[in-house]
Structure 1
Amino acid sequence: MTVSQPGQRVAVLADAQNLYHTARSLYSRNIDYDALLQEAVDDRELTRAIAYVIRADSPEEETFFEALVDIGFETRIKDIKTFQDGSKKADWDVGMSLDAVSLANHVDTVVLCTGDGDFARVCRYLRHEGCRVEAMGFEESSSEDLKAAVDGFIDMSDDSDRFLL
């Protein structure tokens, strides 16, 4: 669980693709980003909130991006890449990791909203540098490596009605 103290400076980095696909596959629902941000901040001082999203040219995505901004997130938007063989790729792992490292000297806690185990190494690095690291994700699809690498893990499945629309 979190060890929240008033005045603690927090950066919240949300891996929107990971959260979206997990919520859709487990619950056939969407993420409530307002509830996510409130839980991540937990009465501490929000320094930055960044949502990493993919533009896939679906009609409702601009409304979604605008809603994230209204909630308090900065959006980092990347276009989906389609390769010659028809496969598609888009992820923000490197960008999120670089932002986490860049922000670590300006905050007390970094909250990664993802279950992606690729972030375990950056979590260990941030902790080694003296930054508290928390993760929020769904237990069923969150990497054991990630959970072992953070100071606290919030299982969004414990209160799925709060975190899902």
Structure 2
Amino acid sequence: MTDVHPGQRVAMLADAQNLYHTARSLYTRNIDYASLLDEGVNGRELTRAIAYVIRAEAEDEESFFEALVDIGFETKIKDIKTFGDGSKKADWDVGMSLDAVTLADHVDTVVLCTGDGDFSRLCRHLKHEGCKVEIMAFRESTAEELIEAADTFRDLSEEQETFLL
């Protein structure tokens, strides 16, 4: 990666649902969050690492949340909503965006771990505010406009042994 030096302050915001579902559907594997954090920080000064997760009352869910904390992530947890028609919804797009905008004054680089194209406008805003924006996600599920809006893109699919368990 270019323009990386140890003094840079970094915030990593990980869209755990996006990463989980992509890793499971493409490779039937899980994300190695310790490697994700280590590689994303890349020897720089970590200011905040936040993993955005959804509580769906799944087996081993709480131990996963605890593992994220042990690795160094702060977890933000949202309960899944079930609507009258049986459909379910839960996403962190607004929460992640607000956190990124709030952190922009305190960091040099924001690492977004998501392939969601909804974050492309956020990338452009952060760059306008003087932040470098790096995306870490699976190429197969990353919106082209997100890649174009970021300063750098790291394809997790090209480094499966590093990023997948």
**TM interval, short-chain normalised:** over 0.9
| Structure 2 partner of 1:16 | 16
What are the Cα deviations for residues 95-136 of structure 1, in whole angstroms up to 9, with x where unaligned? 000000000000000000000000000000000111110000
Alpha-carbon shift at residue 84 of structure 1 (Å)? 0.1
Asked if 1:38 is matched to 2:41, the reply is no
* TM norm structure 2: 0.99
5+ residue gaps, structure 2: none
5 Å-filtered alignment, 1:27-106, equals 27-106=27-106
TM-aligned CA deviation for residue 151 of structure 1: 0.4
Task: Report the TM-score, using the length of structure 1 for normalisation.
Answer: 0.99
Provide the aligned C-alpha RMSD in A.
0.6
* Long gaps (5+) in structure 1: none
1:161 Cα offset (Å): 1.4
- For the residues of structure 1 that align with 2:3 and 2:90, how far apart are their CA atoms? 33
The aligned residue for residue 25 of structure 1 is: 25
Cα distance in 2, alignment partners of residues 25 and 35 from structure 1? 20
Q: Cα distance, 1:2 vs. partner?
A: 4.5
Q: 1:15 to 1:2 in 2, by over 3 A?
A: farther
Alpha-carbon distance in 2 for matches of 1:161, 1:42: 17
Runs of 4+ deviating beyond 4 Å: none
How many pairs does the alignment contain? 165
Residues 21-46 of structure 1 deviation map (CA, whole Å, 9 limit, x = unaligned): 00000000000000000111000000
Q: What is residue 135 of structure 1 aligned with on the other side?
A: 135
Output the amino acid matched with 1:12.
M
1:147 paired to 2:147? yes
Matches of 1:44 and 1:99 in 2, distance apart?
Answer: 20
Percent of residue pairs identical: 75
The 1:2–1:142 alpha-carbon spacing in structure 2 relative to 1, beyond 3 Å, is farther
Taking the aligned partners of 1:17 and 1:68, their CA distance within structure 2 comes to 13
User: What secondary structure does 1:64 align onto?
Assistant: helix
